[in-house]
Amino acid sequence: MSEISLKFRKISKTKLVIIAALAMVLVTLPMFAFSSKAHKSFVDANTTGTQDGSSAHPFKTISEAIKKADGNTEIHVAKGTYKENLNVKNDVKIFGDSKDGVVIKAKDDGDAVVVLHDDTKINKVTIKEGKNGIWVEKNSKTSIIDCVIKDNDHDGIATASDGTKDSKMVSISDNEIKNNGWNGIFSRKRRLSITDNSIHGNDKDGVGIEKGSRVWMADNDIKDNTGSGLKLQIDGSDIWTKNNDIRGNKREGMEVLFAGQSGRINVSKSKFVVNGRYGIARVQTVWGSASLWAKYLTIENNNGIFGNVLGSISGIIHVN
């Protein structure tokens, strides 16, 4: 056999190996894509007969769908009123047909209506008449999107204290959070994104954030709350606010607390208008260190602060 023939056979064999490998990839990729696809489960409060979670035979309750969910599950909820308390386990997402049409009302008003764990999402539902509307557990990344959260005894949304890594961020966006007995949103130390929400008519503060938090807060309307629109704490925090409209709150537009520990709060392109006391109040719980306010609190010149009863920005207010 000639040298040219041998070379040709070697090249042909190599091509066959490459073709076989490519064929294996083409067969395997769809399998991987299929395995990563979320399982869908369906719920309809008006269903009768067989209930297996399929679109033809949905579950009657959201709780049953959560119970049967086995990781990476989307639960799609038809219009109706669901009187239950939900404990949404890891890797489960809930999608309502519409935020006004799907109402989740607490069965036990001594508990939160909805408890969220890691890698969860709730979207387009109304949540009402529990102790808290939504409680976010520790070590949980979650998203709360386009919901109405109202008429709860304590906070509309409340979070357990946790770390501030991006991998465990609580994202709260496009919600209406109103008429709750305490705060619209109350968060202990946490990583938060709070954007495009309407937060109004709550009996304490619109948004309360405790020390040590990392927060991005933008494009929210925060008005007509009985306490302050925002209550933030400098100590150990890294909080950036932009394009918020804060008006008509009975106390301060924004109350900033400082207990002597370094931190950062930046306020940009926001409005603090016709609030019942100061537009922005600076409250210090320790004596001394008054000079540090300029270092840790930045109120940029592009904010609009006017029409507040006691003035735009307070002096340093000392409290015990």
Domain assignment present for residue 246? The answer is: no
Phi, psi torsion values for 12, nearest 5 degrees: -65, -40
CA-closest candidate to residue 76, choices 51, 100, 59? 59
Quote the tokens at residue 101. 């049409």
The rounded distance, in Å, linking the Cα atoms of 76 and 222 is 30
Q: Which of 76-85, 192-201, 238-247, 287-296 shows the lowest mean pLDDT across its residues? A: 287-296
Left if phi > 0, otherwise alpha if psi is -120 to 50, otherwise beta: which for 41? beta
The rounded distance, in Å, linking the Cα atoms of 222 and 212 is 22
Range of the domain at 14: 1-37
Kindly state the average pLDDT of the residues 151-178. Answer: 97
β-partners of residue 102 are: 80
Left if phi > 0, otherwise alpha if psi is -120 to 50, otherwise beta: which for 15? alpha
- Choose between 53 and 24: higher pLDDT: 53
| pLDDT given for residue 288 in this prediction | 77
- Choose between 212 and 10: higher pLDDT: 212
| pLDDT given for residue 36 in this prediction | 61
Kindly state the average pLDDT of the residues 48-52. Answer: 96
| pLDDT given for residue 289 in this prediction | 77
CA-closest candidate to residue 185, choices 246, 248, 134? 134
Q: How confident is the model at residue 290 (pLDDT cuts 50, 70, 90)?
A: confident
Query: What is the number of structural domains in the chain?
Result: 1
Q: Are the CB atoms for 229 and 249 separated by under 8 Å? A: yes
Q: How confident is the model at residue 37 (pLDDT cuts 50, 70, 90)?
A: confident
179-204 per-position pLDDT tens digit: 999 999 999 999 999 999 999 999 99
Domain assignment present for residue 13? The answer is: yes
Domain assignment present for residue 29? The answer is: yes
Domain assignment present for residue 5? The answer is: yes
Domain assignment present for residue 27? The answer is: yes
99-147 per-position pLDDT tens digit: 999 999 999 999 999 999 999 999 999 999 999 999 999 999 999 999 9
Q: What is the pTM of this model?
A: 0.88
Kindly state the average pLDDT of the residues 149-166. Answer: 97
Quote the mean pLDDT of the chain. Answer: 91
Cα-trace Rg, the chain: 26
Domain assignment present for residue 17? The answer is: yes
Domain assignment present for residue 275? The answer is: no
Task: Please give, one letter per residue, the 3-state secondary structure of the chain.
Answer: CCHHHHHHHHHHHHHHHHHHHHHHHHHHHHHHHHHHCCEEEEECCCCCCCCCCCCCCCECCHHHHHHHCCCCEEEEECCEEEECCEEECCCEEEEECCCCCEEEECCCCCCCCEEECCCEEEECCEEECCCCCEEECCCCCEEEECCEEECCCCCCEEECCCCCCHHHCEEEECCEEECCCCCCEEECCCEEEEECCEEECCCCCCEEECCCCEEEEECCEEECCCCCCEEEECECCEEEEECCEEECCCCCCEEEEECCCCEEEEEECCEEECCCCEEEEEEECCCCCHHHHHHHEEECCCCEEECCCCEEEEEEEECC
Kindly state the average pLDDT of the residues 50-61. Answer: 97
pLDDT at 6 over 80: no
The rounded distance, in Å, linking the Cα atoms of 271 and 131 is 32
Q: Are the CB atoms for 130 and 109 separated by under 8 Å? A: yes
Angle of CA points 246, 248, 254, to nearest 5° = 45
pLDDT at 291 over 90: no
Domain assignment present for residue 32? The answer is: yes
